[in-house]
Amino acid sequence: MTKDHTPEYMKQLSGKILEIDFKDETLKMSFFAKEDICHSNGTIIQGGFTTVMMDSCMAFLVMELTDFIYTPMSIDINVAFLAAGRPGELECKSKIIKLGKSIGFASAELSQNNELIATASSSLKLVKIEGAQKDFIKDNIAKDAKIIKA
């Protein structure tokens, strides 16, 4: 039996990759926010968790597009909170703005019940990686993902 290398934060957020579109360079994910990551009596998702959802969605897209040769390290991430996120299902879509040899740029939109609740853009340093990242993504959070080839 293979060891599950899924990071704890991804388990906590029930993160799943729904679709990887190599043609349009986009990735869609779903998340589930429990009350224990919310403030205001468990009614509003804490902004750091909202940011993690979008940052993860952008990072997994870069990893997929580079065939897991690179992992993106955030140089910066700019987030706009547009509406309160509530406990429950969320969906995030990330896209590549530009992917160079050592720096990339990506953006993400986080929605809940078809309402846009936050957006993010990020500058990313591309760092060569080795290890289990590919396994935890392919075998766990992306095992049921729809794949659209270029």
Predicted pLDDT of residue 142: 87
Predicted pLDDT of residue 40: 96
| Structure tokens given for 147 | 């794949």
Predicted pLDDT of residue 18: 97
Short-list 61, 104, 57, CA closest to 49: 57
pTM of the model: 0.93
| Structure tokens given for 69 | 């040769």
- Domains defined along the chain, listed by start: 10-145 (3.10.129.10)
Please give the Cα distance from 143 to 86 (Å, whole number): 27
List the chain residues with pLDDT less than 50: 132
Predicted pLDDT of residue 79: 98
Please give the Cα distance from 83 to 50 (Å, whole number): 11
Predicted pLDDT of residue 136: 67
